[in-house]
Structure 1
Amino acid sequence: MIGERGGGFRMGAGDEQVQQDGEGWLTKAEVREMWPQIRPISITAVARANSVRTSTAPSPDLTGEPAYHAADVRRVAARIARGEADVAPWQRADSDAARDDAAPGPPVRHAAGWGPENVPGLILLAIIVGLMLWGLTSPGHHGTVTGFVR
């Protein structure tokens, strides 16, 4: 099995028997293949809710995810297929929530800010304000606003 592990785990007599029987530990990617009905983001929660044993040893696929006990994963796969597993509706890949996540929504419009896309407008605004201030302070107006208003 691709996800079998031996090193890094403490193995007692019972664990050695499990290894000899072709059992082992599965990565999250392998569990996803066995549980296609479950959304990938929900694998860990469904495993926890259905008492799937996990390892605390570092994952060989470098994801940092725990490894899942193969026999437990198969047991829960059968329960999922029969509709008996503890799975919330939003955790299922065929749920409305999963379809909503997969469907593209309307484009998100962000509030205007001081970003680079606004530089031309800000430059124009600075020029207009500068010209207004220059006009107010010109010698003919003696730097007063009242002369500008008249």
Structure 2
Amino acid sequence: MGAADEQGPQDGEGWLTKAEVREIWPQIRPISVTAVARANSVRTSAAPSPDLTGEPTFHPGDVRHVAARITRGEADVAPWQRADSDAARDDAAPSPPVRPPVGWGPVGWGPENVPGLILLAVILGLILWGLTSPDNHGTVTNFVR
């Protein structure tokens, strides 16, 4: 949108912040305010937001016009963008806690890993037996000589 599209109140003066638009559009989910404004051709200001969030500010006349269209059901709003939709209710409902998988010890040590655990135990046993066998008395000095 160019400067010609942003006529009306002085750029940045009297324009509405995202929080103010959410109050005027209670039917719209807070995360969808900018998308609904864009879809319904609400003009935005190029001036920085007065609340220093970096969010765009919205033309008050356009916001009120779209509010009336939302009420009448004529605005371009996807069902998931509405605060009163099933999708919004599903997002608001807390999900059940994630439970770790049932298994032995740390994650991944389950019955399917028994052959690998047996092989690991055999290898560790051979290493310990080799270090403690009577021919080298736990050292490797005879091998080095």
Query: Smaller-chain TM-score range?
Result: 0.5 to 0.7
What's the secondary structure of 1:24's corresponding residue?
Answer: coil
Taking the aligned partners of 2:99 and 2:33, their CA distance within structure 1 comes to: 32
Aligned to 2:56: 66
In structure 2, the residue matched to 1:42 is: 32
Distance (whole Å) between structure 2 residues aligned to residue 45 and residue 89 of structure 1: 13
Q: State the alpha-carbon separation in 2 of the partners of residues 139 and 81 from structure 1.
A: 87
Q: 2:132 aligns with which of 130, 134, 138?
A: 138
The number of residue pairs the alignment matches comes to 113
Q: Structure 2 matches for 1:1-150, cutoff 5 A?
A: 15=8, 18=9, 24-109=14-99, 132=125, 133-140=127-134
Distance (whole Å) between structure 2 residues aligned to residue 136 and residue 109 of structure 1: 43
CA shift, 1:106, in A, is 2.1
Q: TM-score, normalised by structure 2?
A: 0.65
CA deviation vs aligned residue, 1:57-98 (integer Å, no higher than 9, x gap):
111111111000001000001111111111000000011111
Structure 2: how far apart are the matches of 1:44 and 1:110? 38
State the superposition RMSD in angstroms: 3.3
Q: CA deviation at 1:34?
A: 0.3
Report how far residue 141 of structure 1 moved: 7.5
State the AA in 1 paired with 2:95.
G
Partners of 2:130 and 2:24 in 1: how far apart? 76
Moved more, 60-69 or 100-109: 100-109
* TM-score normalised according to structure 1 size: 0.63
Structure 1 unpaired stretches of 5+: 1-9, 112-117, 119-127, 144-150
Distance 2:39 2:14 in 1: 20
Q: CA deviation at 1:109?
A: 4.9
Letter in 1 for 2:49: S
Q: List structure 1 runs of 4+ shifted beyond 3 angstroms.
A: 108-111, 140-143
